[in-house]
A and B are shown apart, each in its own frame.
Chain A
Amino acid sequence: MKGALEIAADVKAGRTSAEAVIRQTLADIEQYNPALNAFTLVLADQALADARRLDGALASGAVAGVLAGVPFAVKNLFDIQGVTTLAGSIIRRDAPPATRDAPLIARLKAAGAILVGALNMDEFAYGFVTENAHYGPTHNPHDLARVAGGSSGGSASATAAGLVPLALGSDTNGSIRVPAGLCGVFGLKATFGRLDREGVFPFVDSLDHAGPFARSVADLVAAYDVMADPGAAVGPNLEALAAGPLRVGVLGGWFTEGAFPEVLESLALAGEALGGTFGVELPGAEAARSAAFCLTNYEGAQLHAADILARAREFDPAVRDRLRAGTMVPNDVVNLARAWRIVFRNELKCSFAGYDVLLAPTTPCPAPLIGQATMMLDGQPVSVRRNLGAYTQPISFVGLPVVAAPVNRPGILPVGVQIIAPAWREDLAFAAALRLERLGVVAAHPPEGFT
């Protein structure tokens, strides 16, 4: 289970060929995907052709890209040239194929990466579990009876199982961070607006982000640096930043209420390793979560209004019922949510006056069982689907960059921490993640029984 940069180094040095890498990847997908249901499409012929083309170019003296020969896959809401963009639905099955790759895919390909397929997700990205009524549930490689998280569940599952070293997903309310945490891999939700969303099927325009999954900080940084505009690349300065002083706040209050003991222990491990100040309060986080919830319901319903009226039976019932309710969200609630976004953003800016990064748990609990409707938080039964994102929603609501990092605790189901940085300072979140990785506090453990 090699990482992206290790594979690229091998290809560049001639120790292996891109074709050999892709053949092994396709064999792994064929062997392991039936148990995971992470892939909804495998582009075998195209990937092999791309690999041969790359090998030929390298043999002719072409300069190898940063990700030369690295296989990757994307959540099936990314446009892939020649492929219909499903966005987890059957409503879009008859839509015309995309005429070109989404720019983020194009940038990875330009760096030498090779697209091998598309990945399962919650329908229209509306969910935290990837129990898709049409395409089946994606399984967590650490325990196949459990959810992978969502909505980018296929991306997290495929990365964690070692089927690909890199994957792309999207995050509106936590859809990269939640599955990254539950599957034990790294995920990045960059600053709102940082990574291009063109060619990514929308969910909530005012909240949508796209981003990568990987099994190491270095791979995550490499993918980010390739996909971000050149001026935003963090690679060159990361070592110095990770070695320097970092002021770390560990969030309490809303971000620890109801959390399972292993989640709190993991947060403590990360916070102590970074010399963090514990119990930092973020006033208004609960209201931010509620505002994100209302805005999501409203904008999602607006986007799908025509289909909700004409093709309701073709929706995943769990999505359909929420969108139907969303049609009744009045404008005054939407205005209130947008107003709170400004208030909360300003409060967070004040918090960052004292800290470079803030830590919070990624989810309140490890991965629930597939089909599990409720879980106990603070002694109360609550909906799994509505509450897995309780700690992620307030942060994406104000668009801050977050690295979701898996805490290194072998023998228990994965749980993660969010490393939250001020807007446009992905470098600080990466630096804290790199330091934690070098201290052995965060790591992506390979699940048993896979590659």
Chain B
Amino acid sequence: MKPAPERPFWDLDEADMSTLAAIAGERLSIGPDDLPAVEENLRVLLGHARILAVAMAGRPPAGPPSEAFEP
């Protein structure tokens, strides 16, 4: 199996998603019939991560990320 790509997630290619799906398959014992659905969902996540990365590009760091949130 290919190793996980080392670039940031949002810089990965669509093709890298099949590598990640295969890694998920091994970790979670996912059968081959289910892997395409996992890969499809990873592609959707990639699209969202790219949108997010573009929005944040050039902004100063927001400080240490925190789970706490005040509306």
Q: 0/1 per residue, B8-43, Cβ < 8 Å to A?
A: 111000000000110110011110001001101110
* A interface residues, tally (CB under 8 Å): 46
Give the contact stretch, choosing among A136-144, A175-183, A336-344: A336-344
**Complex alpha-carbon distance, A330 and B10, angstroms:** 10
By CB atoms of chain A within 10 A, which of B9, B56, B71 has the most? B71
Contacts of B29 in A (CB 8 A): 309, 312
Give the dominant DSSP class at B's interface. helix
A293 within 8 A of B: yes
Whether A312 lies near B28 (C-beta < 8 A) is yes
Q: 1/0 per position for A264-295, CB-CB distance to B under 8 A?
A: 00000000000000000000101101110110
Find chain B residues with CB under 8 A from A192 CB.
69, 71
Interface check B2, CB cutoff 8 A:
no
A321 with B37: CB separation less than 8 A: yes
* Bound Cα distance from A274 to B17, whole angstroms: 47
B45 near A312 with CB under 8 A, answer no
User: Is B1 in the interface zone, CB < 8 Å from A?
Assistant: no
Other than the known A321-B40, A328-B20, A332-B9, what 6 A-B pairs have Cβ atoms closer than 8 Å?
Answer: A286-B51, A287-B56, A324-B24, A339-B61, A399-B69, A423-B71
A sample of 22 cross-chain residue pairs with beta-carbon separation below 8 angstroms, ordered by A number, consists of A191-B71, A205-B67, A206-B69, A287-B51, A287-B54, A287-B55, A287-B56, A291-B48, A291-B52, A293-B45, A294-B49, A321-B34, A324-B34, A325-B38, A326-B45, A328-B20, A329-B9, A330-B9, A333-B49, A335-B65, A336-B52, A338-B66
Residues of A whose CB lies within 8 Å of any CB of B are: 191-193, 205-206, 284, 286-287, 289-291, 293-294, 297, 308-309, 312, 317, 321-322, 324-330, 332-343, 345, 386, 398-400, 423-424
In the complex, are the beta carbons of A329 and B45 less than 8 A apart? Answer: yes
CB distance from B69 to the nearest CB of A (A): 6
Separation of A435 and B38 alpha carbons in the complex (Å): 47
Do residues B62 and A287 form an inter-chain contact, with CB atoms below 8 A? no
User: Shortest beta-carbon distance, A388 to chain B, in Å?
Assistant: 15
A-B pairs, 6 with minimum CB distance: A399-B71, A287-B55, A325-B41, A290-B48, A423-B71, A339-B62
CB distance from B8 to the nearest CB of A (A): 6
Assembled-state Cα–Cα distance A423/B66 (Å): 19
**Cβ contacts under 8 Å, B52 to chain A:** 287, 290-291, 294, 333, 336-337, 340
Residues in A whose Cβ lies below 8 Å from that of B54: 287
Q: A325-B45, A343-B59 are in contact. Are A193 and B71 (CB under 8 A)?
A: yes
Taking CB atoms, residues of chain B closer than 8 Å to A333 are 9-10, 45, 49, 52
Kindly provide the distance from the CB of B15 to the nearest chain A CB, expressed in whole angstroms.
15
The answer to whether A328 touches B71 (Cβ under 8 A) is no
Contact A297 B65 (CB under 8 A): no
Task: Specify which chain B residues have a CB less than 8 angstroms from the CB of A400 in the assembled complex.
Answer: 71
Shortest Cβ gap from A297 to chain B (Å): 6
Which residue in chain B gives the minimum CB-CB distance to A424? B71
The answer for the CA separation of A326 and B9 in the assembled complex, in Å, is: 13
